[in-house]
Amino acid sequence: MSRLALLAGPELPVGAERLASHVGRLGPLPRGGRALIELLVRTELTGRGGAGFPVGVKWRAVAAASSGSAVVIVNGAEGEPHSKKDRLLMSSRPHLILDGALLAAASVHAKEIVLYIGEGLHGAFRAMTEAVAERTAMERRLIRIVAAPARYVAGDSSATVHLVDAGIATPTTTPPPPRERGVGGAATLVQNVETLAHVALIARTGAGTNTVLVTVAGAVRTPGVLEVYAGTSLGEAVQLAGGPSEPARAVLLGGYFGRWVEAADAWSLSIDPRALRDRGLSLGCGVIGVMPARHCPVCEVAGIMRYLASESSAQCGPCFFGLRALADACTRIAERGTDPGDLQRLQRWSAEVQGRGACKHPDGAIMFLQSAMKTFGDDFANHPAHLRRSA
Amino acid sequence: MSKRFELAVDRIKCDGRGLCAELLPEVIRLDSWGYPIIAPGPIPEHLMGLAQRAVDDCPVLAIALRKAEVQKPKVP
C-alpha cells in the first residue's frame, strides 16, 4: 500500500481517522468561497468519479445559480464493479471528504450536504456516520446520509439527484444538468468523494495535488487500492500491486466505460489524467484491470457487455434494447464463433445507439465495445466456437 | 435571418410509437428497435409545419422543437 497525501496519516488497518488526529495532522478547516473556486480552476483539478469534468468550472456554475439554495451531493456510490478506492477513502479518511464537502457547501452557498453512499459499503457507511457525529452541531445540521442502490447507473449525477428527490436512483433527462437544476429544482453540485478529498488538501496548501487513487485489479499478486503520483507509469503501479501474477494480455483502463490497451503498449503509459486524455485514453474511475493472456478477450468482452446491458435502467429504448442486442451479438461470437453478419451488426448497432440515451450509460458501453473491437480485432474476426468460460 | 429549429427527443419519455417518422421521414428514421433517429442540423424551412405536427401528435409528448444550437463560424 502506498500512501502519499490523501491516504497519509495513521496506518489504514486502524480504520477511520478520528477528527482530533485529522485536525492535528492537517490543521483546521480553511475557508471556502470565491477564492477557493478560482484556486480549483487554476489547479485544474478534474473530477475523479469517471467523467473527469473540471471541478472549478462546475463549482462556478453552481455558485452562480445558487443564491443560497444549492445542494451538495457527495458521491460515494462506487457502482463500478472493480473499483475500491472510494470505499477505502470513506472508511479510512472520512474527515478529509467531509472537509471537502463543507468547503464546497461554503463556496457554492449550499443549504444542504447529502452523503450518497453505496448501500453495500458497510465500512464506509459506518465511518462516514461516525465522522459526521464528531463534527460541530452547525456542520451536522447541514449533513444527511442516504443509501445508494448497488447499481451501475446509481452513480450518474442525475440519478443521485433523482434518488434524493424521489427515492429512485435512475438517471433523468438532461439538459438541464444537476449543476443547473438538481435536488428540488436547486442548483446541485454532485462530486465524487475522492475529488472532495483533493479539495480539502488543495484548500490547505494553496497548490494542486499530484496524486491519484487507483484500484489495480485482475492478474496481479496483490490487487487493491494504491495512491500514486500523477505520472507514475502503469507498469510501476502494477509492480506496486505485487507485479503480474501471470503473463498479461491487455489492460482495461478506467473501468467498464474505459479503454483497452494491449499489455505491450500499456506499461509505459503515464497515470496522469491529462497525459492520458491526450492519447485518447482516460483514467476514468481509476480502475487498472489486468487481463491475463490465458483469458479469451472476446469472451471477456461479451461478459462485460452482458453486465452493462443488464445495468441499463430500462428507461430509454436505444439503451435497453440496443445494449441487449449488442451483448447478444458478442455472446453469439463468443459461443458459436465469428459470424460476419454479427460483426456488421455490432458496427451498425453501435453507431445507432451512440448518443441516444438520457444518460451516458449507452455511450460508455459503446466506447468500451469499440475499444475492444479495435484492440482485439483479430480475436473478433477469427473467434472459434466455444462455450464461455466461467467467470 | 429566420430562426432555425431542431427536434429534440426526450429519450425516457419516448416509447417508440413511430408516428414522428411517418410524419417526417425526411428528418426522422427509426432504429432497429423502432426508436427515432433525428438527422443532425436544423429543420429545413419547408418541413417546419410537419415538424410541428410530429411534436403535437406524439402520443407520449416526447418530442420538442428547440432553437438550433449556434453553429460555430467556419475558419476561412
What is the complex's ipTM, to 2 decimals? 0.87
CB interface of A with B, residues 345-374, below 8 Å: 348-349, 352-353, 356-358
pLDDT of residue A262: 96
pLDDT of residue A214: 97
Judge whether B30 is closer than 8 Å to chain A, CB to CB: no
Tell me the longest C-alpha to C-alpha distance in chain B: 45
List CB contacts (< 8 A) between A172 and chain B. Answer: 12
Residue B67 distance to chain A (closest CA, Å): 14
* Distances from the Cα of A131 to the Cα of A60, A356, A382, angstroms: 28, 41, 55
CATH topology of domain A297-381: de novo design (two linked rop proteins) (1.20.1440)
Q: What's this model's pTM, rounded to 2 decimal places?
A: 0.92
CB interface of A with B, residues 304-323, below 8 Å: 315-319, 321-322
pLDDT of residue B2: 55
For chain A, domain boundaries: 12-205, 211-292, 297-381
SS3 per residue for A80-98 = CCCCCHHHHHHHHCHHHHH
Angle, helices A85-92/A94-107, rounded to nearest 10 degrees: 90
**Dist. CA A243–CA A264, nearest whole Å:** 15
pLDDT of residue B3: 72
For chain B, domain boundaries: 5-67
pLDDT of residue B60: 97
Q: Which helix (H) or strand (E) holds A370?
A: helix A361-375
* Distances from the Cα of A258 to the Cα of A51, A285, A286, A297, A373, angstroms: 10, 9, 9, 15, 13
- Which residue from A196, A222, A192, A198 is spatially nearest to A212, judged by alpha carbons? A198
pLDDT of residue B71: 55
- Given a cut of 70, the residues of chain A with pLDDT beneath it are 1-2, 387-391
CATH topology of domain A211-292: Ubiquitin-like (UB roll) (3.10.20)
CB interface of A with B, residues 82-141, below 8 Å: none
Query: For the domain bounded by A12-205, which CATH number is listed?
Result: 3.40.50.11540
Q: What does the pLDDT profile of chain B (76 residues) look like in tens digits?
A: 457 899 999 999 999 999 999 999 999 999 999 999 999 989 999 999 999 999 999 999 999 999 886 655 544 4
Q: Could you tell me how many CB contacts below 8 A there are between chain A and chain B?
A: 45
- Which residue from B68, B63, B58, B69 is spatially nearest to B10, judged by alpha carbons? B63
Judge whether A176 is closer than 8 Å to chain B, CB to CB: no
CATH topology of domain B5-67: Alpha-Beta Plaits (3.30.70)
pLDDT of residue B75: 47
List CB contacts (< 8 A) between B31 and chain A. Answer: 318, 322, 352-353, 356
